[in-house]
Amino acid sequence: MPDCDYPTELPEKLLGDLRRAARVVKGAETVTVVTHIDADGITAGSIAAETLRRLGKEYTLVFEKKITEEAVERINSDSADLVWICDLGSAYMGQFTRSGLVVTDHHVPDPKWRSGQSSLEAFGTVHQLNPHLYKVSGSYEVCGAGMTYLLSKAIDPKNQDLAYLAVVGAIGDFQDSREYRLVSWNRIILNDAIEAGDVEVENTIRYFGRGTRPLVQFLQYGEPAVSGITGDMQACALLLQNLDIPAFDETGAKRTWCDLNEVERALLTDELMSSLEKEEDRKALFGEVYTIKRYEPKSGLGDAKEFSTTLNSCGRYDDAEAGARICAGDMSALEEAEQNRKDHRKNISQALSYVRDNHLLRRRNYVQYFFAGSAIRETVVGIVAGMMLGTSDAAPDMPILAFADADDGVKVSARAPKSLIDAGLDLSRIMSESAAEVGGMGGGHSVAAGATIPEGKEEVFLDRVEEHISETFSP
């Protein structure tokens, strides 16, 4: 799709709103930053924290898995002059009663707040910066870290050197999965990062793990799938052999995509591209990737996708702080992250086998689902659901819902195949409405959404979800 379909400049209204919010941040002496634990949240929180550090403010950085009633209470009673919430908060605007609040988020805002507006806003102390308020998508046009960066830059243009973190956040939130590249406000932010000399755009194979995955696994686990190669380790090794591309270097170390020379890359690209029949798959396979220039490819931080995966693995294992230290350039935190990442891989593959070996996947008319109970961590159950969707056990044309025990009820993670999204399915709305109908809370994005519902309501919840889906697709 040509660039002209997306804005290449930020709207005046946003710039005005950013300037007003920037004044509030600059006017505060003490600030509490509250942010989400995923890659987008960690980069957002890091941008906010660094911005405040540069301003000489007294600040603390707090991570929340999500906004619970207790979190709302903590935010409302926080004694800091200002609470700056990143990558969270918009859905709960109506519940915040404090003055001194800035929210930089991209999730669907609380509709009541939108129409009614908080009375505090009249005094200029509550500012919500969210793309939905400007009719811009929060799924592929800008993320939480992006909104946080835009405010950071409005506070001081010198903060352009933090733009690369917003690029990492956007990639972490799959904002490139619609066009296979960053577009719209994300593109504007990307251009800032390029101009600052921090990011380079490369056109190449978009498989995960350019710098860290051994070549065989790079091919084996790549998406989109290439028939005869994907999922088949021996076929991948054989392909490399046939193309005369050594899988090991002279020292016996496994080579990665980044180790390949131009000729080797061209050969492999050509082989993969010519094996794909669908134009859409070819677009997904070959396109933009984002290189973070300050880091070595093998560090796990040299590519935006790998960087965000490192941060996500920190967050999922209750160590978002290590992620924030990495964003601040503290390389001792990388070792911790590496351990987190190993645990993460092991956990996910064990969880996936658990669901498959025990034949937990069930099918209804419109959805497939499984109950993981306490066998799978609620923080990884969504990934497992997404991976299940790609296996032969699952129906390829149905949303998948995964249930796992959580501290405050039952966590539901939902993923939908792209074909259904293109046909108009909005998981975010369905999860939010269905959850509300059984006394829970939900939301998220159109392809990936979640909810927390009271224990014992699982079946009723599934009924509600099915009703909403059938309404979407009935004429």
Q: Identify the CA nearest to 131 among candidates 236, 245, 10, 215.
A: 10
First to last CA, the chain: 29
* Phi and psi, residue 22, nearest 5°: -60, -40
> Rounded to whole angstroms, how far apart are CA atoms 280 and 43?
30
CB of 162 to Mn ion, least distance (A): 16
Name the residue nearer to Mn ion (CB basis): 207 or 290. 290
* Interior/surface letters 105-129, b for 16+ CB within 10 angstroms, e for the rest: bbbbbbeebbeeebeebeeebbbbb
> Rounded to whole angstroms, how far apart are CA atoms 200 and 193?
8
Residue nearest Mn ion by beta-carbon distance? 40
CB of 11 to Mn ion, least distance (A): 21
Choosing from 144, 302, 399, 450, the residue that interacts with Mn ion (CB under 5 A) is 144
> Rounded to whole angstroms, how far apart are CA atoms 421 and 282?
20
Stretch that binds Mn ion, among 168-176, 311-319, 329-337, 361-369 (CB under 5 A): 168-176
Name the residue nearer to Mn ion (CB basis): 168 or 453. 168
Choosing from 78, 81, 141, 173, the residue that interacts with Mn ion (CB under 5 A) is 173
> Rounded to whole angstroms, how far apart are CA atoms 246 and 233?
15
At 164, which amino acid appears?
A: Y
CB of 104 to Mn ion, least distance (A): 10
- Size of interface with Mn ion, in residues (CB under 5 A): 5
Choosing from 87, 141, 264, 303, the residue that interacts with Mn ion (CB under 5 A) is 87
Stretch that binds Mn ion, among 34-42, 53-61, 184-192, 344-352 (CB under 5 A): 34-42
**Dihedral Cα 153, 156, 158, 161, nearest 10 deg:** -30
Q: Interface with Mn ion includes 64 (CB under 5 A)?
A: no
CB of 40 to Mn ion, least distance (A): 3
Using CA atoms, how far residue 285 sits from 181, 208, 275, 413, in Å, is: 11, 10, 11, 27
Q: Interface with Mn ion includes 40 (CB under 5 A)?
A: yes
Q: Identify the CA nearest to 57 among candidates 29, 15, 94.
A: 29
Q: Interface with Mn ion includes 105 (CB under 5 A)?
A: no
Name the residue nearer to Mn ion (CB basis): 398 or 449. 449
Angle at 235 between CA 233 and CA 236, to 5 degrees: 65
CB of 325 to Mn ion, least distance (A): 20
Q: Interface with Mn ion includes 176 (CB under 5 A)?
A: no
Stretch that binds Mn ion, among 82-90, 224-232, 242-250, 418-426 (CB under 5 A): 82-90
Name the residue nearer to Mn ion (CB basis): 50 or 173. 173
Q: Where do contacts with Mn ion occur on this chain (CB under 5 A)?
A: 40, 87, 143-144, 173
